[in-house]
């Protein structure tokens, strides 16, 4: 069974939350779709370590604030006949952060919460992004979720 992670990069500005989304390259899985940072967990790698590695590889960010989202991205993948449970992580980016993209992505943009459903088509990803925004806006990131201060 494959092990995957999702990592949602956000920034805050005067009570507004924006998410970084990346457009997948034409020769990659999910070609042309706007998505969060994501990837596979390597053998003997923790989920959180995999998320930090993927964030660094895909956008060249070492987050100063990194936490586990208290929910998972769950969906059925017909191609492999598996129900996948993907841990979700959130990483705060500096206001001025501009990602350096890897070859898996062609462009990026910052979107507001109101733009999520216009760009993100997977219902579970939409739900998680809205959940992260609510948690951050309400100042409810619980200490036990924080993995890197």
Q: Are 146 and 65 in contact (CB under 8 A)?
A: yes
Query: pLDDT class for 139, splitting at 50, 70, 90?
Result: very high
67-76: per-residue pLDDT in tens?
A: 999 999 999 9
Query: Is the pLDDT reported for residue 88 higher than 90?
Result: yes
52 three-class SS:
helix
pLDDT(58) > 90: yes
pLDDT of the residue at 83: 95
User: Does residue 46 have a pLDDT over 90?
Assistant: yes
Q: Find the mean pLDDT for residues 6-32.
A: 92
- Average pLDDT rounded to a whole number, residues 11-18: 86
User: CA–CA separation, 73 vs 47, rounded Å?
Assistant: 13
pLDDT of residue 29: 86
Q: Is the pTM of this model over 0.85?
A: yes
- Between the alpha carbon of residue 97 and those of residues 2, 22, 91, 100, 110, the distances in Å are 31, 14, 12, 10, 10
Structure tokens at 24: 């997948």
> Rounded to 5, what percent of the chain is helix, strand, coil?
25, 40, 35
Give CA 72 to chain center in angstroms: 11
Confidence of residue 149 (pLDDT cuts 50, 70, 90): low
Whether residue 15 is predicted with pLDDT greater than 80 in this model: the reply is no
All residues at 6 or more sequence positions from 50 whose CB lies less than 8 Å from its CB, including other chains? 3, 5, 39, 40, 41, 42
Is CATH 3.90.79.10 correct for 4-148?
yes
Q: How confident is the model at residue 93 (pLDDT cuts 50, 70, 90)?
A: very high
Inform me whether the pLDDT recorded for 26 exceeds 70.
yes
Least confident of 6-15, 120-129, 138-147: 6-15
């Amino acid at each position: 069974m494959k092990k995957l992670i999702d990592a949602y990069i956000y920034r805050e500005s005067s009570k507004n939350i924006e998410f970084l989304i990346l457009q997948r390259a034409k020769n990659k899985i999910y070609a042309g779709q706007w998505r969060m940072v994501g990837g596979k967990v390597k053998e003997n790698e923790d989920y959180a370590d995999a998320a930090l590695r993927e964030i660094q590889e895909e956008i060249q960010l070492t987050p100063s604030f990194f936490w586990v989202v208290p929910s998972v991205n769950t969906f059925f993948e017909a191609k492999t006949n598996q129900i996948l449970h993907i841990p979700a992580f959130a990483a705060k980016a500096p206001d001025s952060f501009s990602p350096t993209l890897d070859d898996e992505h062609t462009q990026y943009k910052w979107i507001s919460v109101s733009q999520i459903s216009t760009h993100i088509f997977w219902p579970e990803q939409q739900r998680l992004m809205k959940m992260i925004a609510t948690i951050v806006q309400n100042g409810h990131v619980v200490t036990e979720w924080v993995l890197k201060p």
